[in-house]
Amino acid sequence: MLVALPKRPSFPHQPEPPLTNHYDHHKDQGRHELPKRLFRQLSPSGAEALPLLRVLYDGDGDDGDGDGDGTPAPAHLRNPPDPDSHDGYPLARAVLAGSVPLVRFLLDHAASPRRKNALAVRLAINRRDLALVRLLVEPPEASPEERRTGKRRRIADRVQVDSEMLRLAVTCGARDIAGYLVNEKGCLPDLKTLSMLRYDESLH
């Protein structure tokens, strides 16, 4: 006896979504990312990365040749890479290498030290480098126009310091950084940090 098989259900044709890649994702957002390999082997001078970064970011707003002739700027100047690529990787690596010129360059081009729970600041504290901590925390320097007129807008710090940073400074023995965070930034120690400070004072 033959049994009729049920008909195969039919579904409306659905076009397949186009293939995308990591670059396309960032291109849709208007910016692409800097390659990690550019920052993996850095010296304190930052010479391994700075020449290329200056080509990618710096220009006069015209065609990048400094003549101001009104020629449209090339694409890499109209749409430079994200300075916070890979969640702040370039700035963190620059701090880890102690490269002040590279850190300053990235900050000047809008890199944020707040990425990954202010990892760049914590790395600077681990290095016990007060100058780097100041550079990462303090607001940008006054512009030439502000220096000329003597009028400066009130600008917030790049990073809001917290008690965890203070505890890290105390743990690392960076007393100058701890003093900066408490006395200049008004950071209050938590109970654990306070007990560490009291113990440290008892030893001196």
At residue 145, does pLDDT exceed 80?
Answer: no
| 137 confidence band (pLDDT: 50, 70, 90) | very high
| Spatial distance between the Cα atoms of 177 and 134, rounded to a whole number of angstroms | 9
At residue 166, does pLDDT exceed 60?
Answer: yes
pTM, to two decimals:
0.72
At residue 163, does pLDDT exceed 80?
Answer: yes
| Spatial distance between the Cα atoms of 78 and 8, rounded to a whole number of angstroms | 55
Percent of the residues in the chain that have a pLDDT greater than 90, as a whole number: 55
| 144 confidence band (pLDDT: 50, 70, 90) | low
Residue 48 to residues 37, 55, 96, 120, 147: CA-CA distances in angstroms? 10, 13, 14, 19, 33
Does residue 70 sit in helix, strand or coil? coil
At residue 7, does pLDDT exceed 60?
Answer: no
| Spatial distance between the Cα atoms of 50 and 58, rounded to a whole number of angstroms | 11
Look at residues 102, 129, 115 and name the one whose alpha carbon lies nearest to residue 39: 102
| Spatial distance between the Cα atoms of 171 and 154, rounded to a whole number of angstroms | 33
Question: Tell me, what's the pLDDT at 20?
Answer: 35
| 194 confidence band (pLDDT: 50, 70, 90) | confident
User: Lowest mean pLDDT: which of 32-46, 88-102, 134-148, 172-186?
Assistant: 134-148
Bridge partner residues of 33 (DSSP): 82
